[in-house]
Amino acid sequence: MHDERRRIEQRVERLHHQRIRPALYAATVPLTVEAWQAPGEPVPFEEAAAAPYTPFAMDTPWGPPWGTTWFRVRGEVPAAWAGRRVETVIDLGFTGDWPGNQAEALVHLPDGTPLKAVNPLNQYVPVARAATGGERIDYLVEAASNPDILADGFARPTPLGDVLTAGDRPLYTFRRADLAVLDEEVFHLDLDVQVLSELMRELGEHDPRRHEIAHALDRAMDLLDLDDIPGSAPAVREALKPSLSRPAHASAHVISGVGHAHIDSAWLWPIRETKRKTARTFSNVTALAEEYDDFVFACSQAQQYAWVRDHYPKVWARIEEAVRKGQWVPVGGMWVEADGNLPGGEAVARQFVHGKRFFIEHFGIETKGVWLPDSFGYNAAYPQLAKLAGNEWFLTQKISWNQTNRFPHHTFWWEGIDGTRIFTHFPPIDTYNARFSGEEMSRAVRNYAEKGGATRSLAPFGWGDGGGGPTREIMERARRLADLEGSPKVVVEHPDEFFAKAREEYPDAPVWVGELYLELHRATYTTQARTKQGNRRSEHALREAELWATTAALHAPGYAYPYERLDRLWKTVLLHQFHDILPGSSIAWVHREAEAEYARVAEESEALTAEALAALGAGEGRVFNTSPCERREVVRRPDGSAALVRVPANGSAPLTPVAPQHPVTVEERVLDNGLVRVELADDGTLASVLDRRAGREVLAGKGNLLRLHTDLPNYWDAWDVDKHYQHRYTDLLETTRITVVEQDPLIGAIRVVRTFGNGSTITQTVTLRADSPRIDFATDLDWHEAEKFLKAGFPIDIRAPHSAAEIQFGHVQRPTHTNTTWEAARFEVSGHRWVHVGEPGYGVAVINDSTYGHDVSRTVREDGGTTTTVRLSLVRAPRVPDPEADQGRHRFTYALLPGADIADAVAEGYALNLPLRLADAAAPPAPVVAVDGDGITVEAVKLADDRSGDVVVRLYESRGGRARGTLRPGFRTARAHITDLLERPLSEAALADGAVPLELRPFQILTLRLARS
């Protein structure tokens, strides 16, 4: 037989695209359209319904950036269409096929009921499956003219990312508003041909099935009447039926399809637009559920449900019905799909608490899995936190984006820092926006790493990022691929069912230990520094507010614990931990609003703390310590003078000065307190840091060296820092002035001012305090650079085989060598409050109050010694998607802590982030809780969310070893329980003389619920 594949494939492609697809609608009539441009921000339906509308013609430009245009669409179904399937078809001037960042609309009935959304690949609104003729169409269409920030492939900055700079030129041209008859035979023929031709192209050239499909298509096309596509469609479909009916091989891979609509809670659009995206997408999904009984849709992010509940109650009612029918599946159990690296440990716990509780309260469903496909790496505390929240499985996708190394597993056990394991799947289809194309089906099988051990994988299907969700075309593909020779089998099912089957067939799946590091998007640890600072400070402010509110609730008669206010503030912080807000990868509008929200959280948290302390009663000045560690520290009195005080952990003490044992002296550019001696060079860097206790020089080069790198990644500007940034840089060694600004036995400080680059100024105050080896660098940066990356480096005279960086509820160790591509790929990593490097007997920590990115490298000097360099990433200046990212004023502090072990790093990390507080308040009888035992660290103290009055304490082992100790409540305790993160009792804890004995494994998290007697 002659090889005619090329002729056949070309023939099928042309007939499909030029004849079959254009025949989907057998007849059309135009609708009458009127328009009203809403001024400013979106308006409620009632206001739009009462607005004055004017005639609007097709092919007319509409829609300024971020504007809302309401269209009134009217018409009548012709009597001749009786018995036909009739739809309204609307094309707003869609560009491309991505529904996320362009024109979108929600179609309403005259009474305000949302019907369905329209977007590029979902342009229809059903009118009647079998029209009677004469049906009246009267719709109000809320159309959003969102600009395409992705235009030009992220190649150039754009002002469109903020309504303040976007201008008002119309972006779109309205193309179509018709009533149309959908020819269902042609519709199904279109899908038959798509599925078979795509499968054919993916099969090997020597596979008989490929040739069988080709000739079947060729014969079928012979039956297609080019002058009567609808009339000949049934015969063509009948000819293709044998090829579509041949069953899959018994050993075929099984793909569990789960409907999905990834909706970024903010990204290339502001939060206000996400609220509308949820209504559009969820309207589409519930409409699809009514049409396809076998449809299953998984949806995460409780915050998005709450938006729909509050703003679109009719859509919410449809969601409730779909949940009852089992077609809508809440998943993920988090408030939002948060970034996987940057939120603090308690914040991750609250993501689960608020997310899971929402689904339990509103649907009676406890989610079983973590659904987090798109975060930029995942911290190694996740397995334990997920299990403590009652989860059984974890799903992600993003690791498929690795730049260097291919992740070796698709189904595996993920083991966290404490030893907890969770069953994890990483879909080999390599997308969370699957369409069941032939290429995707082939890719899933080709990629699948578990061949021979397991037979199934999961595929989230539906348009996403900006929403959209599954379509009827995707569902039709799934039906055809359920059992088709040459293809994996597709079964649409609940993700819990997939994970149960996958675990049953593969109980001995391989184990991955430690973080899931994404070898891409490393700049998200640094970009939009003010957003990251707002998050860090909000987390600590809420910790403080909860501790002192609990103290007041226990000891101040008449004080009411502020449940609602704390709940609202936490949810604000959790929302802004979404994986395109906190990482700094959103448009200017998003980060402008985030900074304003963080300022509000700071103000309200401060008010809550002040109210709690005031409730304790009037008293002389006291010092309050929110840290879990006892502190001997210098504080500033209200008059500006300094005092050295000692304050217990989680408690308070009188503002009674303690005599310093190691006062500070200042001589020219030298700070010395007997513990450390710090000498600044003429260029403002650290020339020497002598640890007098150990008798050793800490530095092996210029300390606090500020290095300005050229920073233009290959693509995703706000997301990525590529390794070549290291090759071009300028060391900031020129100073404007160096001045001694404080010279006191308690505090010595030297200020260094530098100007550089494009008019930027950095002012750093180097401070040493009495009785402390910690050297602080309080930094005031006025930043005006573009495509630059600023780092602060400390070359330390230590041979450290690894660095340790704080993460959620513990720390991770990372090699300082680059023996393999896996280590070399970690040239930029994340950490929280501290990084530690050490050799046996000696270590040094670098501490920060708001940065996350850093790098650690090592070199061997000519004298044979090893220099381990720790560099903090301070600020970047990408121009896409926000051309003004990070521009302007930044204030932050980082510190060098010589002679530190891990315990010192933990304590000083808390101290720098939780400054001592002065207040004129009465002394509470005792701290709410006191803990003894090395390594046992209190992370949160609060009242139970159920308003029972029980006290909840979350603590963990922070050093990486076993810990024993005792928790002593500062109140009479009737009983104690160990609980999950949702404060539900798991077991009773022992009480001995009112105290709770503790025994923790390395990095174990323990939540205790203490009932008052």
Let me know: does 434 contact 471? Beta carbons within 8 Å: no
Cβ-Cβ contacts under 8 Å for 357 (sequence gap 6 or more) = 945, 982
Strand ranges inside 500-591, DSSP E: 511-513
Write the DSSP symbol of residue 585: -
Write the DSSP assignment of 767-813 as a string of letters: EEETT---EEEEEEEEE--SSEEEEEEEEES---SEEEEEETTEEEE
Let me know: does 795 contact 698? Beta carbons within 8 Å: no
d(CA 899, CA 903): 11
* Number of residues in the chain: 1013
Three-state secondary-structure class, residue 81: helix
Write the DSSP symbol of residue 133: S
Let me know: does 867 contact 799? Beta carbons within 8 Å: no
Let me know: does 834 contact 848? Beta carbons within 8 Å: yes
Q: Which two tokens stand for residue 863?
A: 């004298």
- Count how many Cα atoms sit within 13 Å of the Cα of residue 148 in the half-sphere of its side chain: 18
d(CA 702, CA 732): 11
Q: Is the peptide bond before 881 cis (omega within 30 degrees of 0)?
A: yes
Sign of CA dihedral 821, 827, 828, 831: positive
d(CA 592, CA 172): 26
Let me know: does 140 contact 48? Beta carbons within 8 Å: yes
């739809």: which residue's tokens? 87
Strand pairing category for 842-848 and 810-815: unpaired
d(CA 1013, CA 969): 12
């067939």: which residue's tokens? 505
Neighbours of 471 (CB within 10 A): 20
Start-to-end C-alpha separation, the chain? 90
Strand pairing category for 393-395 and 369-371: parallel
Q: Which two tokens stand for residue 230?
A: 């609808």
Cβ-Cβ contacts under 8 Å for 269 (sequence gap 6 or more) = 101, 146, 277, 466, 587, 590
d(CA 485, CA 335): 42
Q: Is 483 a catalytic residue?
A: no
Write the secondary structure of 170-217 as one string of H (helix), E (strand) and C (coil).
Answer: CCEECCEEEEEEECHHHHHHHHHHHHHHHHHHHCCCCCHHHHHHHHHH
Q: How far is CA 234 from CA 25, 214, 244, 770, in A?
A: 16, 19, 14, 89
d(CA 326, CA 905): 49
């704390």: which residue's tokens? 566
| List 178, 374, 465, 717, catalytic entry | 374
Cβ-Cβ contacts under 8 Å for 782 (sequence gap 6 or more) = 760, 761, 762, 888, 889
d(CA 258, CA 295): 8
Burial classification of residue 934, based on how many CB atoms lie within 10 Å of its CB (0-12 exposed, 13-18 middle, 19 or more buried): middle
Q: Of the candidates 546, 552, 652, 675, which has an alpha carbon nearest to the alpha carbon of residue 927? A: 652
Q: How far is CA 826 from CA 520, 687, 846, in A?
A: 10, 29, 19
Alpha helices in 588-649 (DSSP H): 588-615
d(CA 340, CA 338): 6
Enzyme catalytic residues? 374
